[in-house]
A = this chain, B = another copy of it.
């Protein structure tokens, strides 16, 4: 199957399809037409057909999509047919929130350890995940196969921690620190820059105000 020339926009919509299909599956729905799916998702049916055609098109003329098959296939494309071991760097409020999402675990993303430089937290645990001293992180990474490092520390600390992670062979980083990470080409980074999201909101608030004033 040709999956290599898929646009970023289509990739970004796959998790949304997965979410809606998961809900349909939970409700016991077995098949759905692109028209029904489009009503549910508030996108056009032609957009849905185009998106799914990127992956060979799972629909059958006059039948629609088999919900369970499509759900599994999109999950496979997103890499959800395997498990990921993760470490979390930063045991603050954000880190605690991230380590507590049962839905990540359910999807196959498991936190194996949390690292922090605050000695008051080291030795403690969050939902049975041990909090360890940041200094033992290299040794931990040598002895455990970790797929993803999650960065939830202030940006001043993030750069040197990421250097260490890269040296220890980490190939994927989920970055919540408000800094663009400088990593080798074979390391994938997914950024969640919250303040940039908030600024998009303030931009849109003001655009809306301007429209209203016209």
Contact = CB atoms under 8 A, between A and B. Distances in A.
B208 A197 contact: no
Contacts of A188: 201, 204-205, 208
A116 to B, nearest CB: 15
A135 to B, nearest CB: 25
Interface in A169-214: 171-172, 174, 178, 180, 186, 188, 190, 192-206, 208, 212
| Max count, chain B CB within 10 A of own CB: residue among A12, A15, A212 | A15
Contacts of A206: 79
Given A147-B205, A192-B192, A204-B188, A104 B198 contact: yes
B19 A171 contact: no
Contacts of A18: 199
* Majority SS at the chain A contact face: helix
Contacts of A15: 193, 195-196, 199-200
Interface string A90-122: 001110111011011001010000000000000
Contact of A201 (B19, B94, B172, B212): B172
Given A19-B178, A93-B96, A190 B201 contact: yes
A175 B44 CA distance: 23
B96 A203 contact: no
A80 interface: yes
A84 interface: yes
A78 interface: yes
B202 A171 contact: no
A199 B80 contact: yes
A192 B201 contact: no
